């Protein structure tokens, strides 16, 4: 669990959660533990995605993957335990009766985002698409939306719920998270084509080697870059409609567009 969690990573989901809460005036210090719960859950998904039966990836976040170091059985169990701990953290944090309703709401939102109709469903579709070399824009969108988009959106609204946001503001955070998540995925796919393993911390070109369904594979590199710019602008516009003009969320969208790894 430690090996995979502390190998690095951009911490997009917890940062997004904290930035959303800060944009609404909450103090992020007391939300830190809950935000870590989101990263635990994300890390579980990486450990299981990298397993021999799935992507069979040797490298992640610049380190050998869990199953390479500890064997397949322990890697499966480490992923299971990261998921369990992540949800346990969300059941316990942020502490206090004041946040009890938000804890339950976030648990419902996150478990639906990562379940069989969200992240896990997306991973099943991804495996099927890979095995059948399917490449359609609709399938690409639906897989991305389920596999990574849903948890990113749930991370944004979690921050809103911890800040006691109204349903209207939660809907705006959800729309921001949708645009940001799409920008993030397009950038991820572009980096896989354009970067090298040392910068990336995982094998570059591994998506195309696995004939994975990616934005460059479906739309080409130029159109993908254009889509990245469009989604970044959309995220920034959405952030601007939030109380306080969501300054941190604008910065986060710029980071996602410009990151090098």
User: Least separation, in Å, of the C-beta of 163 and a second copy?
Assistant: 19
Burial of residue 29 (CB within 10 Å: 0-12, 13-18, 19+) is: exposed
Considering only CA atoms, give the Rg of the chain. 18
In sequence order, what are the beta bridge partners of 63? 60
User: 47 or 252: whose CB is closer to a second copy?
Assistant: 47
CA separation for the pair 142, 196 (Å, rounded):
28
User: 73 or 133: whose CB is closer to a second copy?
Assistant: 73
User: 79 or 181: whose CB is closer to a second copy?
Assistant: 79
User: 37 or 246: whose CB is closer to a second copy?
Assistant: 37
Residues 6+ apart with CB under 8 A from 166: none
- Residues at the site binding a second copy, with contacts judged by CB under 8 A: 1, 48, 51, 53-54, 71-74, 76-77, 79-81, 83-85, 87-88, 91-92, 100-101, 103-104, 107-108, 111-112, 114-116, 120-121, 123-124, 127
Do 12 and 156 meet the contact criterion of CB atoms below 8 Å apart?
no
User: Least separation, in Å, of the C-beta of 52 and a second copy?
Assistant: 8
User: Least separation, in Å, of the C-beta of 111 and a second copy?
Assistant: 3
User: Least separation, in Å, of the C-beta of 122 and a second copy?
Assistant: 10
Q: Which of 153, 113, 144, 116 is nearest to 212 (CA)?
A: 144
């Amino acid at each position: 669990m430690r090996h995979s969690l502390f190998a690095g990573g951009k911490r997009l989901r917890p940062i997004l959660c904290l930035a959303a809460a800060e944009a609404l005036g909450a103090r992020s210090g007391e939300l830190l533990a809950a935000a870590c719960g989101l990263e635990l859950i994300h890390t579980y998904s990486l450990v299981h995605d990298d397993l021999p039966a799935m992507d069979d990836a040797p490298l992640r976040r610049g380190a050998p993957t869990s199953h390479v170091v500890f064997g397949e059985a322990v890697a499966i169990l480490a992923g299971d335990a990261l998921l369990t701990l992540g949800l346990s953290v969300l059941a316990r944090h942020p502490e206090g009766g004041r946040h009890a309703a938000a804890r339950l709401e976030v648990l419902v939102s996150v478990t639906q985002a990562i379940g069989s109709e969200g992240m896990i469903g997306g991973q099943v579709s991804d495996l099927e698409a890979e095995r059948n070399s399917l490449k359609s824009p609709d399938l690409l969108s639906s897989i991305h939306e389920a596999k990574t988009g849903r948890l990113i959106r749930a991370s944004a609204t979690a921050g809103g719920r911890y800040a006691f946001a109204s349903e209207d503001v939660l809907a705006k955070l959800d729309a921001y998270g949708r645009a940001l998540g799409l920008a993030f995925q397009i950038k991820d796919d572009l980096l896989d084509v354009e970067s090298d393993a040392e910068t990336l911390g995982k094998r570059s070109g591994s998506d195309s080697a696995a004939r994975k369904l990616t934005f460059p594979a479906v739309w080409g590199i130029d159109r993908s870059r254009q889509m990245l710019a469009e989604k970044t602008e959309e995220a920034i516009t959405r952030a601007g409609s939030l109380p306080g003009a969501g300054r941190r969320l604008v910065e986060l969208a710029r980071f996602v567009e410009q990151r090098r790894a």
